[in-house]
Amino acid sequence: MRIAPVASIPRVLEHLGFDPAATLAEMGFDLALFENPENVIPYTARNRLLEQCANKTRCRHFGHLVARNSTASSFGIAGCLIQQSPDVGSALKALVRYLHLHVDGAVTYLDEDAGSVFFGYSIIDPGNGETEQITHAAVTAIFNILQRLCGDEWCPSEVCFTCQKPENTRPMRQYFKAPLRFNAGRSGIALSNEWLGRKLKESDPELRQLLQAQIDQIEERYAHDFAEQVRRVTHTAVLTHHANAAHIAGLFSVHERTLNRRLRECGTCFRELLDQSRYEISQRLLRDSTLSLSEIADIMDYASASAFARAFRRQSGTAPALWRLQLQENSDDHRAQQPS
């Protein structure tokens, strides 16, 4: 992914009293990487770097500070396209549809309900690391995009984080100016659905058509990896409680039998992708939140906590409660070894 969304890391380090070049070198990164927004950094490496910076500076809202400078354009051609959409709803749907061209470790999704909509961000591949900082950064970036689309008069109904509440929430409260909810079942921003119809005055239909043509060309390069496309869509469907083969097939405009046949040709099946998506989301919730097993089971649409525990044990070989405990112990040991 492009370095653009986290290009302000050196500036934030300097603001917090640290030498950017020396600090980044200590973590295995060259300062020059951040000078060109088109430079590339793997998603898992970005995640790890944000966590290392937060630990080094002892600033638990480091990711939030970094993302304050992000804009829609930080997300490459997908970000440019949403700025040329006819309205806010179309812009958000375009971001959901094309974010994978910029980010390979996460998905965004829209969950519409009566009178409200939730624009969420979910990590697919955390790289077996903590996700607090990347979550703070992602939600802040989403906020910036929404504010740019909706205008200064817009205010979110609620800002949600799956991670636990940091000791100091004042910077976030001052920035978002909205209710904050930590230890939530999902990360993202809730807003009234009346904003979806807001027209974007700066939209240019001709430019949008040109950008769409470029995106279509890029998408053709990924067309062969059908299983990966279905995996991403299934991950989102789990979070919006639509994770069934018929629904997924409809999103690809094919019959359910065709979906299953094409997945078999890729060496997998829908059930396998669904189980993997549930497992990945469950891991994140166990790692980043203090939600009970029953609450996680409900988010994952399992019939009960025991059904969730059995499914998790099949994937990991360990009961979810024990998996969470072992992860916490390893995390505590790692932090104790960090230099002060």
Cα→Cα distances 75→49, 92, 95, 143, 196, Å: 19, 13, 9, 14, 21
d(CA 50, CA 130): 10
| Assigned token pair, 71 | 């804009």
Decide whether 4-197 matches 227-331 in CATH topology.
no
Superfamily of domain 227-331: Homeodomain-like (1.10.10.60)
Burial class (CB in 10 A: 0-12, 13-18, 19+), 168: exposed
Domain locations in the chain?
4-197, 227-331
CATH number of 4-197, picked from 1.10.730, 3.30.1180, 3.90.1520, 3.40.50: 3.90.1520
CA distance linking residue 78 with residue 74, whole number of Å: 9
Residue 4 tokens, joined? 């653009």
Per-residue pLDDT in tens (0 to 9) along the chain, 340 residues = 778 889 999 999 999 999 999 999 999 999 999 998 888 888 888 888 999 999 999 999 999 999 999 988 888 888 889 999 999 999 999 998 888 777 777 888 999 888 899 999 988 765 556 789 999 999 999 999 999 999 989 999 999 999 989 999 999 999 999 999 999 989 999 999 999 999 998 888 899 999 999 888 877 766 667 888 888 888 888 888 888 999 888 877 789 999 999 899 889 999 999 999 999 899 988 988 888 999 999 988 899 999 999 999 999 999 999 999 998 887 666 655 665 5
Find the helix or strand (DSSP H, E) in which 190 lies. Answer: strand 187-192
Residue 57: which of 3, 113, 114, 12 has the closest Cα? 12
Closest CA to 163 of 180, 182, 178, 181: 182
Sign of CA dihedral 300, 233, 281, 195: negative
